[in-house]
Structure formats: structure tokens, C-alpha cells
Amino acid sequence: MSNEESHDFSRKIAQELNLGISQVKSTLNLLESGATIPFIARYRKEATGSLDEEVIGQIRDRLGRLRELEKRRETILHSIEEQGKLTDELKKQINEAATVTELEDIYLPYKPKKKTRASVAKEQGLEPLADILQEQRFTDIYSEASTFINEDKGVFSEEDALSGARDIIAERVSENRYIRSRMRQLFLRESAVIAKVVKGRETEAQKYKDYFDWQEKFSKAPSHRVLAMFRGEKEGFLKLKIEVPAEDALKILTDKFIRAANDAAQQVHDALTDGYKRLLKPSMENEVRQVIKENADRHAIDIFAGNFRQLLMGPPLGQKNVLAIDPGFRTGCKVVCLDSQGKLLHNETIYPHPPQNETGKAIQKIKQLVNAYKIEAIAIGNGTAGRETEEFLRKVRFEKDVIAVMVNESGASVYSASAVAREEFPNYDVTVRGAVSIGRRLMDPLAELVKIDPRSIGVGQYQHDVGQPELAQSLKDTVESCVNSVGVELNTASRELLSYVSGLGPALAGNIVEYRNKNGAFRSRSELKKVTRFGEKAFEQAAGFLRVRNSSNPLDKSAVHPESYPVVEKMASSLDCSVDDLIQKEDLRKKIRLADFVSGVTGMPTLKDIMEELARPGRDPREKFGLLEFDSNIRTIEDLKPGMVLPGIVTNITAFGAFVDIGIHENGLIHLSQMADEFVKDPNNYVRLQQKLKVKVLDIDLERKRIQLSLKNVD
């Protein structure tokens, strides 16, 4: 990117995001140099004015869109120039266009087209007649049209000539920039989407029953309804039409082009009507569909990313010996035992449920495994037979306290069949791998979930219907943000987890694991420089996010970046104490006057971060782990009654509400209207993923397996 281009982009982005130009320029320069968003947000606050990850991401994304705009601008200029039609005025218009839509409107009359009715009419020499009609001065249009009859070119009558001229006018109007802009505004503001069920598919389309005869303003439709209707259309169950009041659309056209009340004006009016129905309306429909879909996608992606963040940042049980169970009926329950590092020690299958009903034998086996492997917690997958397995475990009388926790197993089967799982456990089948994933999720959700395609975890809405590149980027940003905010233990992290650390990626992560396998545990952060291809740039980006618990340097256990070690050492020296003393003793830290340590490199934001880290080095920002017990009297949806108050845990948040696991196979829905006594726009302001709460049962639809829940008047 040239300095001139960067400067122009900096100014535009600063204006759009209401930021200082210097903030944006510094951020762009850092991004261009290969710095990651987490690194910039955490360790370059002085350069950016303490911009957070979200704003830095917006700057990056806006830069990408501006570059795409410039690329398209160059393509259009080149195309029109090749046609020999690029005037100075046209070039000025193209260079001043601020959006892709403006550019495309300018380009439309020059865009190479397949044969159209208007192009045929032009070949027939009818363009002058179209000009005459548009002037609307002639009353005897048939006499004028007769002069354009040319049987060799297929114009056999006055009506043929007038028809061709109307086709030319219709295309001109449909390509007029002013008209397209006004029409676009009308469609975006007033268009209604009309959904109808496809005849004969009513039975198959039951999940879209709400949209069998549905109409609403597109601009008012929430993202989940938009995506639902589009999916129904894609699957062949729904037909969608987009309509605006035709009289409003035609008024825009007539106000612009009708200037008289004669036969010529009537011909123009007929051309306008035809041009609207045949050309403009379909074009505007497509544009509106695209805009509404992009907006719905953006909203759905934001919801998915927000939910995924909450899931990744779920409270970890920590380093405990865990027995994990992947429940099942006919095929039994796969049981694995893991040590405190998540290493697989043992696996086998028990059959406590029908049809085998080997309950007594299964109880003895579980007790034996708990004692043999010093198990401290049991993780139970919440899929098929999950609740029954939890009840079975209540019958086991352990010799010590052992907690049992239901774990969301969404995506575990995807992991178990993945290349990552095959590489990790080449000698075990998918059932063992799935059980291991369930156990490790309890120990550390973040470390385990990074191994799975987020779209398989099921915490979004319509994630397979939205733009996949945009979704992938958003989820990648989310994972990187979570991994780097928590920090990664260098000596125990998997390659997959390391690959999300700032500045690493799969190749360097693999090199770290390979070095660790050959040379044993890292003894310090600085030892990273011995890893193959781990240069200064990678060290700069990654080191602050990596932890070495057993390092002799206490700062290696913290989020203090190695580049700031001299600052901390200087602080300690000023108090005639060690860095360890500074960490251990609050009274020493209180004596530090931060202003004394400000330099051209280290500013007050970094110094404040350093002091926070010294107070709580390597602090995990995630909540502490807590248990939830479901109501043991509720086993199936048939056991539910309106008015019941039950414990539950939030499993998914959408634009229209939140889904809650109440301990049975079906999750219940708390609709927005049932979250509070006030108007609720965003459910994230009232609930969060994995939140434990009490809910009231409002309604049960046994046929559709739907449960309506409420947070109102729960007490």
C-alpha cells in the first residue's frame, strides 16, 4: 500500500469511525507490518490511543472494502476506456463515486451486455425515434414513425418502429443514475416481502408453517425471519415476492420524464411502465434482497460470534482427574479416564441402560475406575441417554466426593472424526475420541473447542445460510481474541490451541510442539527463539500471550511483554527489591510512581497494564466453575406442566430469545417478550451463554416438541 493510498484511506476511515487520523494511520501501519489485532490492542496502546479489538477489526475490515472499491474502480475505468467512451467528466464521476453501488450505476450504460430488446432496436436504427419521443413535442407520432420503416432491418410498420423506440427508452430509464437512486430508496424503505407456501408441499414444509401466508416490511423484518424465509425459499418450500406500491414507483418515473400531454408523452409513459416492470423492478428486487440478506447475515454472524465467545470463555474445571462418559442406549456408554493434563489413561464401555440393563455391573465398574484413577469429576455428554446416565450415576455410592457435570457435546462427533482427532488418537475409534472431547471440555472449554469447526457447535442461528467467508473471519477473530485474552501455557498447550496465539499459526505451532517433544519443557519465554523459524517478529507478536509457569523469571508467568521486562526491573531496582518481591507485596507496588517510568517507548497505558499484571500475574479472566443440578423429577417433555419453575442453563442466544437446557432432550425457549417486564431489544443484555438460572414453564407443544419458558415472576 503506497503512502498516498494509506493517507487517503486513513482519512476516510477516520471520518467514518469518528477516530483521529493519527490513530487510524498508526493502526494501519501496524496491521500492514504483520501485527495481529490482539497484539495491537494489548501491547501498542500508545500508538493507537488505546483502541480496542473491535475498533481495530473495523479499521481492518473497512480497509479491505476500500481496497475492493479501488480495484473495481480501476476495472470500470479500463473497460470504458477500451470502448473509447471515457470522457473527462465521466472519469471524474467514477473517481468521485464513494460506494460500489454508485460505481455500478455509473457503469451500467457502458457494461457489455448480451442482446437485449433495446440493443436490437438500436441496430434497427430506431434510436433517433426514441429521442424524438422523449422530447414529447410531436403529436403525429405515427407519421414520424413511418419514416423509420425498414423491412430489411425487420421494421415493417409504424407500430414496429414505436415498439422498438419504447424498448430503447425503457432501457435508458432503467439505467438512469437518478432513477436508480430514487427507486433504490423507495424499495429499501417501503418494500414488503410476501411469503407463500409452495402448493402441494404443505406437509413437508411444516417447520416453515409461520410463513405459509406471511407479509411484512422487509426493512422491519428481524434477521432470523429474513434468514428463515430465504432458507425456506432455497429448500423449495416457500415462494417469496418483493413488492412496493406500484403507483409510488411509477410516480418517480413520470415526475422525471413526462413533460407533456400528447401521443408522444403517452408512448414514453408506456415505455416507463414496461421499463419498470421488466427491468427496474427485478433489478431493485435483487438489490434489496442482497442488502437485506447482507444485513441479516451481519446480525446473525454477530450473534454467533458473541455466543461462541461466551462458550469459549466458559468457566474451566481446571486440572482435575476426569472420567468422561459419551452416553448411549443400545451401543452402551463409552467411558474414558483422563489425568489432570487431559491424557487418555483408560477406556471401556458400560451398558447401564436398555436393552442390556447391566446396571449393577456398570455401577461396580464406575466405582472401580474412580478409585483406580483418583477421579475427581465426571463429565456426561448431554446428548442421547445423557439424562438417564446422570440418573444412573446418582445410584453410585462413591467413597469420596465426586462431582458429576452435564457437558454440552455439540460438535464432539465432528471432532472425533476429524484429522486432528485421528492424529491425536490414531489407535482409537470415534466413540473414544468423542468421550475424550467431552471430558476435556469440562476441564478447559477453550483449549478443547478450538479443535472443532465452530459451525458444528450449534450456538448460532442459520450459520450455514450466511456468507461463509465473513462468518469464518468473524469466528477466527473471536477464537484469537479469547485465546490471547486468557493466555496459553507454553508447555501443555496443543498445537491447535497454540496456532491461535498472536503471530504463530499452524506451522510455528507445530514447530513449538516438535521442539517441546525433543527437548522437554520450555524453561523460559526466551527459549522460544531456539524453535525453528521462530524469528524476532514472531517472538514480538506471541511472547506476551504465552505463559511458562515453571520459569525462573516470574514475569514469564504473566501477561507482561518481554519488551517491558526492563521497565519492571527498573521499578524493582528503584525500591531496592526483586521483581518477585514486587509481585508478592502490595505495599511495595503502592510506592511506585508511574510517571517516573514514562518514556518515549513506554507510556502510561502500558504502565497501568503492567501494574495490573504484577498484582495478579497470569490471571485467568474466566469465571470460576460452578455446578448446576437439574430437577430430578423431570425426565421427558411429557413430565412438564405449565407453571413449573425449573433450574436450567442457557445453551444458545438468538435475535428472538434464548434457549435453555432444563435437563431433558428438548431445550426450551425464552422469547424476548418473556425476559423482562420491559421491552427487550437484545437478549444478551439479560442472559449469557452457560448462565445458570431458574425458568417458569409457560406452554408445551408436544406435537412440535416446543417448550415456551419465562423469566418473569419466577420467584
User: What one-character-per-residue DSSP string does 634-694 give?
Assistant: --SGGG--TT-EEEEEEEEEETTEEEEE-SSSSPEEEEGGGT-SS--S-GGGT--TT-EEE
Picking from 613, 568, 575, 610, the residue whose alpha carbon sits closest to that of residue 591 is: 575
The mean pLDDT of 422-447, rounded to a whole number, is 94
| 3-state class (DSSP) for residue 563 | helix
| 3-state class (DSSP) for residue 147 | coil
Q: How far apart, in Å, do the first and last CA atoms of the chain sit?
A: 60
User: Is the distance from CB of 361 to CB of 387 less than 8 angstroms?
Assistant: no
Task: Give pLDDT, residue 4.
Answer: 45
| pLDDT tens, residue by residue, 472-513 | 899 899 999 999 999 999 999 999 999 999 999 999 999 999
User: Is the distance from CB of 648 to CB of 694 less than 8 angstroms?
Assistant: yes
pLDDT-derived band at 460 (thresholds 50, 70, 90) equals low
Burial of 675 (C-beta count, 10 Å sphere; 0-12/13-18/19+): buried
Share of the chain above pLDDT 70, in %: 98
- Taking the CB of residue 347, how many other CB atoms lie within 10 A of it? 19
pLDDT-derived band at 1 (thresholds 50, 70, 90) equals very low
Query: 14-18, 51-55, 299-303, 334-338: which range is least confident on average?
Result: 299-303
Range 117-301: architecture per CATH: Orthogonal Bundle (1.10)
Report the distance separating Cα 322 and Cα 402, nearest Å. Answer: 10
User: Is the distance from CB of 491 to CB of 515 less than 8 angstroms?
Assistant: no
Q: Which three cell numbers stand for residue 592?
A: 511506585
Q: pTM (2 decimals)?
A: 0.84
User: Is the distance from CB of 433 to CB of 420 less than 8 angstroms?
Assistant: no
pLDDT-derived band at 114 (thresholds 50, 70, 90) equals confident
User: Which residues, listed in sequence order, are joined to residue 380 by a DSSP beta bridge?
Assistant: 325, 406
Q: What is the CA radius of gyration of the chain?
A: 33
Candidate ranges 7-11, 129-133, 408-412, 615-619; pick with highest mean pLDDT: 129-133
* CA 427 to each of CA 344, 349, 423, 432: distance values in angstroms, whole numbers, following the listed order: 12, 16, 9, 10
Place of cell 523459524: 533
Picking from 242, 192, 245, the residue whose alpha carbon sits closest to that of residue 217 is: 192
Report the distance separating Cα 383 and Cα 389, nearest Å. Answer: 10
Task: Give pLDDT, residue 391.
Answer: 87
Task: Give pLDDT, residue 468.
Answer: 84
| pLDDT tens, residue by residue, 167-209 | 999 999 999 999 999 999 999 999 999 999 999 999 999 999 9
The domain limits of the chain are 3-79, 117-301, 326-443, 506-615, 637-710
Residues in Cβ contact with 682 at an 8 Å cutoff, skipping those fewer than 6 apart: none
Q: Which three cell numbers stand for residue 343?
A: 491424557
Report the distance separating Cα 591 and Cα 586, nearest Å. Answer: 9
Range 506-615: architecture per CATH: Orthogonal Bundle (1.10)
The CATH code belonging to domain 3-79 is 1.10.10.650
Report the distance separating Cα 118 and Cα 170, nearest Å. Answer: 8
The mean pLDDT of 450-479, rounded to a whole number, is 83
- Taking the CB of residue 629, how many other CB atoms lie within 10 A of it? 12
Q: Which helix (H) or strand (E) holds 495?
A: helix 495-498
Place of cell 502510561: 604
pLDDT-derived band at 113 (thresholds 50, 70, 90) equals confident
| DSSP-assigned letters across all residues of 52-77 | -HHHHHHHHHHHHHHHHHHHHHHHHH
Q: Which three cell numbers stand for residue 505?
A: 499459526
The CATH code belonging to domain 326-443 is 3.30.420.140
Tell me which fold the domain 637-710 belongs to: OB fold (Dihydrolipoamide Acetyltransferase, E2P) (2.40.50)
User: Is the distance from CB of 432 to CB of 324 less than 8 angstroms?
Assistant: no
- At residue 2, does pLDDT exceed 80? no
